[in-house]
Amino acid sequence: MTALAAKRRHPAAFAFLLLLALLVTGTAYAAFAPRPAQAATLGADQVVEGKKLFQANCSTCHGLNAEGKSLGDGTEAGPALAGVGASAVDFQMGTGRMPLAAPGIQAQRQQKILFTPEQISQVAAYIASLAPGPAVPTSSDYDPATGNAAKGGALFRVNCAMCHNFAGSGGALTRGKYAPSLMGVAPKDVYEAMVTGPQSMPVFNDTNIDPQGKRDIIAFLQTVHDSPTPGGMKLGALGPVSEGLFAWIFGLGILIGCAMWLGQKSA
């Protein structure tokens, strides 16, 4: 005691105590901080908060207890959400698709996200509490670095390219619906979309494409997005339509311009 008390005015004591305090705080934070991956499964408070948020922002279409709401004419205002899982909530709200700004053919990705990550995780916890469903993936689930782009390319062409185009530039579906471009979409969103099947997209569960396959696809998309185009400008990566348009307008236009110039030369 005396030895410790005697040292309490030692010049290093302040620095030592500061380090100790930082270490304790940091460890405690690491131990108790909410981990995003498990946020949906956390305590009852989350669920209660989430339910409040849900009823205030989502129940108009999805019903007060997320049971879904029918419009009476055979169409539904919003589907029942029991069993869609925290992952679906994280995808729809995290990309700004929900809450829907206005009824339309298809919910669109928004630049401005209306809810904080915490609020989103609270709603997710509420929806997850209704019935089991896919949880929000952890960063190791969708890390592009652990995927094989070549295998991912093969999987992508078989499962995704018919709607999203060979280069992930997107494509048209029936009646104004569309498969959006996948260029620049965060790996987590791609993973969640595969697991939950938003809008017109089918669900690719783990028996259909296993988690490694999903990482391969994400790695492939990353490669397509990052790799330079060896052939020059890619004209929107839309295939022969843009190439034909270019040949007619610019190719023929330039050559006719040259022909006119030559035609005037001797006249």
Q: Cα 241 to the chain's mean position, in Å?
A: 29
Q: Using CB under 8 A, which of the segments 34-42, 187-195, 198-206, 235-243 binds other proteins?
A: 235-243
Q: Which region among 67-75, 121-129, 200-208, 252-260 touches other proteins (by CB under 8 A)?
A: 252-260
Q: Phi and psi of 71, rounded to 5°? A: -90, 0
- The radius of gyration of the chain's CA atoms, rounded to the nearest angstrom, is 27
Quick check: bond before 228 cis, omega within 30? no
Shorter beta-carbon distance to other proteins: residue 54 or 156: 156
Contacts with other proteins by CB under 8 A: the residue count is 63
Binder among 115, 170, 200, 217 for other proteins (CB under 8 A): 170
CA distance 216 to 168: 14
User: Hey, which residues between 87 and 106 contact other proteins (CB under 8 A)?
Assistant: 105
How buried is residue 154: exposed, middle or buried, by Cβ count under 10 Å (0-12/13-18/19+)?
A: middle
Question: What count of other Cβ atoms lies within 10 Å of the Cβ of residue 222?
Answer: 17
Q: Determine, following the binding rule CB under 8 A, whether residue 258 of this chain makes contact with other proteins.
A: yes
Question: Which residue stretch of 12-20, 38-46, 82-90, 147-155 sits at the interface with other proteins (rule: CB under 8 A)?
Answer: 147-155
Residues that bind other proteins (CB under 8 A): 105, 149-151, 153-154, 157-158, 161-167, 169-176, 178-179, 220, 223-224, 227, 229-235, 237-248, 250-252, 254-256, 258-260, 262-267
